[in-house]
């Protein structure tokens, strides 16, 4: 092969490696989304089988995280990528950490379902977190959508959704405290709702992080810890 | 300059850049450790001034995170590091995320102190979390020590400490639930302790992550999600 052909060959291989990583991250995102769906269903319907499924699948998420991490590091070592490719690898390393932690929160909810099944307190449909759950699922979905389309235009929206999630979370906590004070028999049940709400609120934070990392990838600018005004400026560029 | 001299010059500069990053990460670790110390003191003694100090300093942690992150990425782009240097940069990018989250937990505790000051409930010394607090502070200190000495030999110990932290946390939660059930007037106070305990337990997790990243840096092996036996094998090599 002449030099030009070798060059094309290497660049084709490099593209294939980057594409492979992208594909795996999106797969990981899909699994994590399903985990949240199933963990929350398990919680709302006291479905033990579903809870077990979520816990079992957590290992697969952990393995994917380690696998993607290693592939990114290998490409950094062998290919010395620059510009967008370098940012994509760095952002990916961070995104998979957030995805893994979302998976952890799903597993945490599932483990609680199994612990609760052994007590007498599991008798309710926990309807008060339905709205928070819907909001957080939508946020995660939008973040993964940003990632799939490599499009940062929704990041301001997603960050605004997070403010609403925090507000809804705060309102649930206040309701729960009132109900606990009214009747101590409500305490155990209220704490179950409290832990699950807390997990959901954290998932909202991680979803925000993911779209911040996508913004860094696409726009080349670190947008963590900046004001909404500055963020809008970065996005509009 | 001849080629050899240029080579030495570049390598000296490179070493200086790596040293600068190391220095900044250790500074960030020191600040975070102080934040935990001050936030918990503020909580135990209802010290508003100290709580305000913790909240103000959170910005400095965020800035350091962004600064170190950018320096790591620039070195990756310009120097194409390999082997230990590459691992150090990748691990650093992850370590500062954990440090920043520890800082967030400290700020969370401090914000609660300020919110509590406005209520009637703040009247107690919250002595029941003292032991958990001491354990977590020791864990964080050991982790930062691993990082400063680039020594992974304590990682098994630190992970064992985390198991004890989780156990202590579980026992505090059970005590709190009992006390809430005995007398609903205890609920608000119990929830303050519950949130702070939760933050401390999370700081334990982040400390564990930090020494796992140090192990990857020093031993070249990803030790997340592996058994204690496998971990011991990696460390003894």
Q: What is the ipTM of this complex?
A: 0.93
pLDDT at A207: 98
A47: distance to nearest CA of chain B, Å? Answer: 24
* Exposure class string for A152-185: b at 16+ Cβ within 10 A, else e: bebbbebbebbeebeebbeebbeebeeebbeebe
pLDDT at B115: 85
- Number of continuous H segments (helices) and E segments (strands) in chain B: 7, 0
A54: distance to nearest CA of chain B, Å? Answer: 17
pLDDT at B110: 96
**Residue of B62, B222, B225 with shortest CB distance to A70:** B222
Is the pLDDT confidence value at B169 over 90?
A: yes
Mean pLDDT over each residue of chain B, to the nearest integer: 93
Place of tokens 């939760």: B198
**Residue of B65, B90, B198 with shortest CB distance to A93:** B90
Q: Does domain A3-236 sit in CATH 1.20.58.220? A: yes
pLDDT at A120: 59
pLDDT at A218: 95
Predicted confidence band of residue B66 (pLDDT cuts 50, 70, 90): very high
pLDDT at A1: 58
Average pLDDT on B10-17 reads 91
pLDDT at A202: 97
Predicted confidence band of residue B186 (pLDDT cuts 50, 70, 90): confident
Report the C-alpha gap between A75 and B219 in whole angstroms.
Answer: 19
pLDDT tens across B97-119, in order?
Answer: 999 999 999 999 999 999 887 76
Q: Are B90 and B213 within 8 A, CB to CB?
A: no
pLDDT at A151: 95
3-class DSSP state of B120: coil
pTM greater than the 0.90 cutoff? yes
pLDDT at B121: 55
> What's phi and psi for A131, nearest 5 deg?
-65, -45
> Would you call A191 an interface residue with chain B, using a CB distance cutoff of 8 Å?
yes
pLDDT at B148: 97
pLDDT at B132: 96
Looking at chain B, which residue has its C-alpha nearest residue A61?
B225
Is the pLDDT confidence value at B122 over 60?
A: no
pLDDT tens across B146-160, in order?
Answer: 999 999 999 999 999
For chain B, percent of residues with pLDDT exceeding 70 = 97
- Give the residue from A111, A178, A224, A230 with the most B CB atoms within 10 Å of its CB, the best one to mutate: A224
Place of tokens 């302790």: B193
> Would you call B177 an interface residue with chain A, using a CB distance cutoff of 8 Å?
yes
Predicted confidence band of residue B9 (pLDDT cuts 50, 70, 90): confident
**What are the mean pLDDT values of chain A's consecutive 10-residue runs (237 residues total)?**
78 94 98 97 92 97 97 94 95 98 97 81 72 97 97 95 97 93 88 94 98 96 92 92
Tokens of B90: 């990748």
User: Quick check: B66 and A222 CB within 8 A?
Assistant: yes
């Amino acid at each position: 092969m002449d030099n030009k052909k070798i060059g094309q060959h290497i660049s084709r291989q490099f593209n294939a490696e980057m594409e492979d990583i992208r594909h795996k991250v999106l797969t990981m995102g899909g699994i994590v989304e399903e985990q949240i769906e199933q963990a929350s269903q398990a919680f709302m319907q006291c479905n033990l089988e579903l809870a077990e499924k979520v816990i079992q699948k957590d290992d697969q998420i952990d393995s994917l995280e380690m696998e993607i991490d290693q592939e990114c590091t290998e490409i950094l070592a062998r290919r010395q990528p620059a510009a967008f490719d370098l940012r994509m690898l760095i952002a990916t390393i961070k995104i998979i950490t957030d995805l893994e932690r979302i998976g952890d929160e799903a597993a945490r909810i599932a483990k609680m379902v199994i612990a609760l099944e052994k007590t007498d307190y599991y008798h309710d449909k926990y309807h008060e977190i339905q709205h928070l759950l819907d909001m957080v699922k939508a946020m995660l979905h939008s973040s993964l959508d940003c990632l799939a389309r490599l499009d940062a235009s929704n990041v301001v929206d997603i960050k605004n959704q997070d403010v609403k999630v925090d507000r809804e979370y705060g309102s649930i906590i206040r309701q729960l405290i009132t109900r606990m004070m009214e009747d101590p028999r409500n305490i155990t049940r209220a704490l179950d709702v409290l832990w699950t709400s807390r997990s959901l609120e954290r998932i909202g934070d991680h979803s925000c992080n993911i779209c911040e990392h996508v913004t860094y990838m696409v726009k080349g600018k670190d947008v963590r810890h900046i004001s909404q005004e500055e963020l809008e400026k970065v996005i509009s560029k």
